[in-house]
Amino acid sequence: MQIYFTFEPREDLRKPLVAEFPEVNFVFDVKLREEQLAKADIVFTYGEDLTAENIALANNLQWIFVASAGVEKIPAKAIAERGIFVSNVRGIHKKPMAESVLAHILALKRGLPFIYEQQKKGEWNKKTSLSELNGSTALVIGPGAIGAEIGRILQAFGVYTIGCNRSGQSVESMDETHMIADLHKHLPKADIVISMLPSTDETKYLLTYEHFESMKDTAIFMNFGRGNVVKETELVRALQNKLIGHAVLDVFEVEPLPNESELWKLDNVTISPHFSSHSSRYVERALEIFKPNLKKWVAGERNLENKIDLLRGY
Amino acid sequence: MQIYFTFEPREDLRKPLVAEFPEVNFVFDVKLREEQLAKADIVFTYGEDLTAENIALANNLQWIFVASAGVEKIPAKAIAERGIFVSNVRGIHKKPMAESVLAHILALKRGLPFIYEQQKKGEWNKKTSLSELNGSTALVIGPGAIGAEIGRILQAFGVYTIGCNRSGQSVESMDETHMIADLHKHLPKADIVISMLPSTDETKYLLTYEHFESMKDTAIFMNFGRGNVVKETELVRALQNKLIGHAVLDVFEVEPLPNESELWKLDNVTISPHFSSHSSRYVERALEIFKPNLKKWVAGERNLENKIDLLRGY
């Protein structure tokens, strides 16, 4: 059995993996090479290097392990036609991402951008208004594993949490949950609006200028899901017209965010280069999810965790 | 009965207060004037404007309400000799301060200073190492009301908390507690060291260069108590020699931090101008503490909350 890694984990992570599975032939590469993919039974990838063309060459391939939460870049149709099993690292991002979301909220409430600026100027200056997170209301659109972790921590800070999902069925760590169809009714209550939505046909351009009109003019809008949940032009217009207080964006319609984007010119936005899930402990975590599943696979079991439904896209 | 405010709360806060206590004569001033202090039965102050001289003029004064957690600037001896009751707003700072402490920790772990810098340059750049708070160990020196709130939230993030106080007796939200005398034994375990110590004879210069030698070279040291817990020269030397990873300082030996301080020149320090307790909701909160106590006072009761022991200084 050949497992092909299309990136190279650190040596201290590779060694124990190889030792744990002596029956498996591991190939680690710095990037995907087709001649190696052609021989692989299992591929371990970040999910951005597979194409319908190279899948066609991978005659032995039975399982694609995607070390990412989003799988929208894999050639789903070509993979589905071949009946290749796909699983991902669902849940791996929840801690680092929840920490990033909280970092940004608290930084804005407690004046960190101001503190850093004054320090750079060498000025002792208290003249800014600091506010507080406790007592606020947060609305999470699409609360899955990451949203639940964000909700859990927000609740610890004394924040009231509202979830909006497709069904309106209650989810973990949300004080109340409603249907996304009723979003406009609940946006006016929120001090913080966080989109965690994946990219699907249903979520594309789901948020419109009118949704920003429904928000408080002091609201913080955060997009940590996928960029195309809102047209960049509408988001820019909402920010230019100060419909909300601030936006914190980790994802964008086009990534990397183009130099000519109006977003770079606004001062009521924070631009994070789609890396809020990054962590020096990321690969370690991905392997923690991979290993027990590989053990099952080697034993002939096929009921692996985090199976991706290629038609739904998550 | 005359209550003298040596600052002027916002009108929306003054009006309901005056309405609630028709038997009391309120005087609100933008700063302390001795002719008004001379007539006051109760003074409501931030605690920085009282002197032994003006206390001597305040013949009617029976109660000083200090809208601050630290009372080291009041003339304790002169007040104690007169038998004037002093109380403060203990606990008022806990939420905003805990939020500031968490904001700084998370900002460092999740790369916010880097994000802000890249955005200013208009660059999409992911090349920095992001780490995580969960799974860390934090040591809080002097965990009182604020430290307990910090500990409670750190625990929600999955942080193991160690408290160090005079007695070593266990306190709220600390997984274990030890005596400050044994501090050097516990510092090597901590990823984050937070001093919340007040300024007293016992705490002055309690932390030395050797304590920083005991810390991890990646540790974040935070001083949100009082500046003279460590000599600035020793702290600067510890930072120059990179004994620790970063310091976040809200308090300093001399405040405002002098222009010539070496701290301004270091890049492994965050300088916050002693305002981590500030909040747009501060006076509202101080009045929430003051009102029930004033009700008791008017009824002749003297067992008020948050009594200050003038000899201990807190």
**Average pLDDT score over residue span B163-181:** 97
User: Which H helix or E strand runs over A177?
Assistant: strand A176-179
Give which of B105, B106, B146 to mutate to test A binding, by max A Cβ within 10 Å: B106
> Which of A307-311, B32-36, B145-149 shows the lowest per-residue confidence on average (mean pLDDT)?
A307-311
Is B37's pLDDT higher than 80? yes
B212-to-B220, B238, B253 alpha-carbon distances in Å: 11, 6, 17
Q: How far is B106 from chain A (nearest CA, A)?
A: 5
At B71, the pLDDT band (50, 70, 90 cuts) reads confident
Q: Which residues of B touch A279 (CB under 8 A)?
A: 130-132
C-alpha A139/C-alpha A177 separation (Å) is 9
A285 has a chain B CB within 8 A of its CB: no
Q: What is the pLDDT of residues A220-250, one digit of tens each?
A: 999 999 999 999 999 999 999 999 999 999 9
Give which of A130, A220, A248, A277 to mutate to test B binding, by max B Cβ within 10 Å: A130
Q: Could you say which of B99, B125, B126 has the minimum Cβ distance to residue A110?
A: B99
Question: Is the separation of the CB atoms in B25 and B42 below 8 Å?
Answer: no
Q: What is the pLDDT of residues B76-118, one digit of tens each?
A: 999 999 999 999 998 888 999 999 999 999 999 999 999 999 9
Q: What is the pLDDT of residues B269-282, one digit of tens each?
A: 999 999 999 999 88
Residue of A nearest to B272 (CA): A115
Query: Three-state SS for A55?
Result: helix
Per-residue pLDDT, B59: 96
Q: How far is A57 from chain B (nearest CA, A)?
A: 32
Residue of B nearest to A129 (CA): B280
Per-residue pLDDT, A71: 87
Tell me whether residues B157 and A157 touch, CB distance under 8 A: no
**Average pLDDT score over residue span B190-209:** 96
Is A197's pLDDT higher than 80? yes
Per-residue pLDDT, A37: 97
C-alpha A9/C-alpha A94 separation (Å) is 21
Residue of B nearest to A280 (CA): B131
Q: How far is A224 from chain B (nearest CA, A)?
A: 14
Is A293's pLDDT higher than 80? yes
Helix residue ranges per DSSP H, A227-266: 232-240
At B179, the pLDDT band (50, 70, 90 cuts) reads very high
Is A181's pLDDT higher than 80? yes
Residue of B nearest to A258 (CA): B124
Per-residue pLDDT, B314: 75
Tell me whether residues A158 and B107 touch, CB distance under 8 A: no
Q: Could you say which of B103, B130, B273 has the minimum Cβ distance to residue A110?
A: B103
Q: Is A303 exposed, middle or buried (0-12, 13-18, 19+ CB in 10 A)?
A: exposed
Is B191's pLDDT higher than 90? yes
Tell me whether residues A133 and B99 touch, CB distance under 8 A: yes
Per-residue pLDDT, B90: 86
Counting one residue from A and one from B, how many pairs have CB atoms under 8 Å apart?
134
A218 has a chain B CB within 8 A of its CB: no
Give which of A95, A97, A106, A252 to mutate to test B binding, by max B Cβ within 10 Å: A106
Per-residue pLDDT, A167: 96
User: Would you tell me which residues 77-116 of chain A have a C-beta closer than 8 angstroms to some C-beta of chain B?
Assistant: 95-96, 99-100, 102-104, 106-107, 109-113, 115-116
Tokens 């063309």 sit on residue: A53
Residue of higher predicted confidence among B314 and A302: A302
Helix residue ranges per DSSP H, A160-208: 183-186
- If one counts every other C-beta atom within 10 angstroms of the C-beta of residue A31, the result is 8
Q: What is the pLDDT of residues A78-135, one digit of tens each?
A: 999 999 999 999 888 899 999 999 999 999 999 999 999 999 999 999 999 999 999 9
Q: Which residues of A touch B158 (CB under 8 A)?
A: 95
At A38, the pLDDT band (50, 70, 90 cuts) reads very high
Q: How far is A228 from chain B (nearest CA, A)?
A: 18
Helix residue ranges per DSSP H, chain A: 11-20, 34-37, 52-57, 76-82, 94-109, 112-121, 145-156, 183-186, 209-214, 232-240, 282-298
B182 has a chain A CB within 8 A of its CB: no
Is B313's pLDDT higher than 80? no
Tell me whether residues A109 and B103 touch, CB distance under 8 A: yes
Is B70's pLDDT higher than 80? no
Mean residue pLDDT across chain A: 96
Per-residue pLDDT, B158: 97
Is B19's pLDDT higher than 90? yes
CA-wise closest residue to B237 among B260, B265, B216: B265
Residue of B nearest to A275 (CA): B126
Residue A129 DSSP label: -
What whole-number percentage of chain A has pLDDT above 90?
94
C-alpha B249/C-alpha A182 separation (Å) is 45
Question: Is the separation of the CB atoms in A282 and A92 below 8 Å?
Answer: yes
C-alpha B144/C-alpha B165 separation (Å) is 9
Is B69's pLDDT higher than 80? no
Per-residue pLDDT, B311: 81
C-alpha B234/C-alpha A62 separation (Å) is 61
Residue of B nearest to A106 (CA): B103
Per-residue pLDDT, A270: 98
Residue of B nearest to A251 (CA): B124
**Average pLDDT score over residue span A6-26:** 96
Question: Is the separation of the CB atoms in A305 and A83 below 8 Å?
Answer: no
Tell me whether residues A99 and B272 touch, CB distance under 8 A: no
Is A313's pLDDT higher than 80? no
- Non-local (6+) Cβ contacts of B115 within 8 A are A270, A271, A272, A273
Is B232's pLDDT higher than 90? yes
Tell me whether residues B275 and A126 touch, CB distance under 8 A: yes
> Which of A150-159, A282-291, B255-264 shows the lowest per-residue confidence on average (mean pLDDT)?
A282-291
Residue of B nearest to A282 (CA): B131
Q: Could you say which of B107, B278, B281 has the minimum Cβ distance to residue A112?
A: B107
ipTM > 0.95 for the complex: no
C-alpha B224/C-alpha B274 separation (Å) is 8
Per-residue pLDDT, A68: 86
Q: Is A270 exposed, middle or buried (0-12, 13-18, 19+ CB in 10 A)?
A: buried
- If one counts every other C-beta atom within 10 angstroms of the C-beta of residue A200, the result is 15
Tell me whether residues A99 and B129 touch, CB distance under 8 A: no
B18 has a chain A CB within 8 A of its CB: no
Per-residue pLDDT, A24: 97
Tell me whether residues A279 and B131 touch, CB distance under 8 A: yes
Is A314's pLDDT higher than 80? no
Q: Which residues of B touch A239 (CB under 8 A)?
A: none
B262-to-A59, B24, B206, B237 alpha-carbon distances in Å: 64, 51, 21, 9
C-alpha A173/C-alpha A149 separation (Å) is 7
Tell me whether residues A131 and B279 touch, CB distance under 8 A: yes
Rg (CA), chain B: 22
First to last CA, chain A: 27
Q: Could you say which of A107, A119, A264 has the minimum Cβ distance to residue B122?
A: A264
Q: What is the DSSP string of chain B?
A: -EEEESS---HHHHHHHHHH-TTSEEEE-SS--HHHHTT-SEEEE-SSS--HHHHHH-TT--EEEESSS--TTS-HHHHHHTT-EEEE-TTTTHHHHHHHHHHHHHHHHTTHHHHHHHHHHT-----S----STT-EEEEES-SHHHHHHHHHHHHTT-EEEEEESS----TT-SEEEEGGGHHHHGGG-SEEEE-----TTTTT-B-HHHHHHS-TTPEEEE-S-GGGB-HHHHHHHHHTTSSSEEEES--SSSSPPTT-GGGG-SSEEE--S-TT--TTHHHHHHHHHHHHHHHHHTT----SSB--TTTT-
Is A189's pLDDT higher than 80? yes
The region that residue A135 occupies, defined by phi over 0 for left and psi between -120 and 50 for alpha, beta otherwise, is left
Tell me whether residues A116 and B115 touch, CB distance under 8 A: no
Domains and CATH numbers, chain A: 2-90+280-298 (3.40.50.720), 94-271 (3.40.50.720)
Dihedral of the alpha carbons of A298, A304, A306, A309, in degrees to the nearest 10: 110
- If one counts every other C-beta atom within 10 angstroms of the C-beta of residue B283, the result is 19
Q: What is the DSSP string of A153-165?
A: HHHHTT-EEEEEE
Q: Which residues of B touch A152 (CB under 8 A)?
A: 156
Q: How far is B93 from chain A (nearest CA, A)?
A: 11
